Amino acid sequence: MPTHATKATAIRGQETTVPLLPCVSADETLAFYQALGFAVTYQMTRPYLYLAFRWRDIHLHFGKGSKNLDPSEESTGGCLVLVDTVEPYHRAFSEALRAKYGKVLATGRPRLTRFRPGQSRFSLVDPTGNNIIFIQRDEPEDLEYGGSAKLTGLAKVIDNARILREFKNDDKGAARALDIGLARFGAEATVVDRARALAARLELAIALGEATQGQSLKQQLQALPLSKEARSQLAEELKASERLENWLAGAPPRRTRATRRR
């Protein structure tokens, strides 16, 4: 008898998968995706809700969400969009939002999550709490989502904070992890790891709107006795807070070595 695999390989033609996501507000959903540059390919609110959008070859469809749906949980639904290079998509959506609103929608809901050079993904969080996650196709298969088991002390804390920030969109959790880690391991950590932790926490302070905390962290970071070699080694991490401030303010991003390699 033929196996299922044999039957599958005998099929001719191409497939297209289109996610059908829930929607709690047609007006808000239309406004957000159109601001990003998506074209509306279908729109109906009566006798039932159905919306369809397209951006390049990305198709997103929406129907009415359940009565018990809570958008604030931001776990409503989602879609993975695999791309060759992530950064150009993030730049395009950033520019589209600035053109529409005069700023990037970077906090609350809906929003575009921020992007650091070398990062392999970012998310669009829509008004219903759906996450449209853009992922670089060559993201390492052995990527550790729970923090590397090979690291210890403050280095492990920094890695755990990275996971919370970049893969779980949990800035508050990442900030809390770094605060606890610095208090527990800061005194015994190398100056390089202290600098990495403070730089990561400073960027989070800016993202969370913690102005006083940010100023204190900036002073602590500047006071560290980092060698010229160490500053060169940590150049990208030390510039993270400045890049975030520029992105939020609408300044054009600087092309770094990391982004030029992509």
The enclosing H or E element of 53 equals strand 50-55
In Å, how far are 54, 64, 73 from 51, measured between CA atoms?
Answer: 10, 9, 22
Q: What is the pLDDT of residues 33-77, one digit of tens each?
A: 999 999 999 999 999 999 999 999 999 999 999 989 999 989 889
Phi, psi of 41 (to 5 degrees): -100, -15
Count Cβ atoms below 10 Å from residue 201 Cβ, excluding itself: 26
DSSP letters spanning 28-82 = HHHHHHHHHTPEEEEEE-SSS-EEEEEETTEEEEEEEPPTT--GGGS-S-EEEEE
Q: What's the pLDDT score for residue 51? A: 98
Question: What is the average per-residue pLDDT within 4-8?
Answer: 68
> 57 is written with which tokens?
């070859």
CATH number for the domain whose boundaries are 20-136: 3.10.180.10
Does pLDDT of 254 surpass 80?
Answer: no
pLDDT for position 13:
85
In the predicted structure, residue 256 carries a pLDDT above the cut 50: no
Q: Is the pLDDT of residue 251 over 70?
A: no
Q: Angle 171-185/153-166 helices, nearest 10 degrees?
A: 170
Q: How confident is the model at residue 259 (pLDDT cuts 50, 70, 90)?
A: very low
250: pLDDT confidence band, cut at 50, 70 and 90? confident
The residues spanned by each domain of the chain are 20-136, 153-238
Query: What is the predicted pLDDT for the residue at 156?
Result: 94
Mean pLDDT, to the nearest integer, of 206-221?
93
> Is the whole model's pTM more than 0.85, yes or no?
no
Q: pLDDT by residue (tens digit) across 119-161?
A: 899 999 999 999 999 999 988 776 666 667 788 999 999 999 9
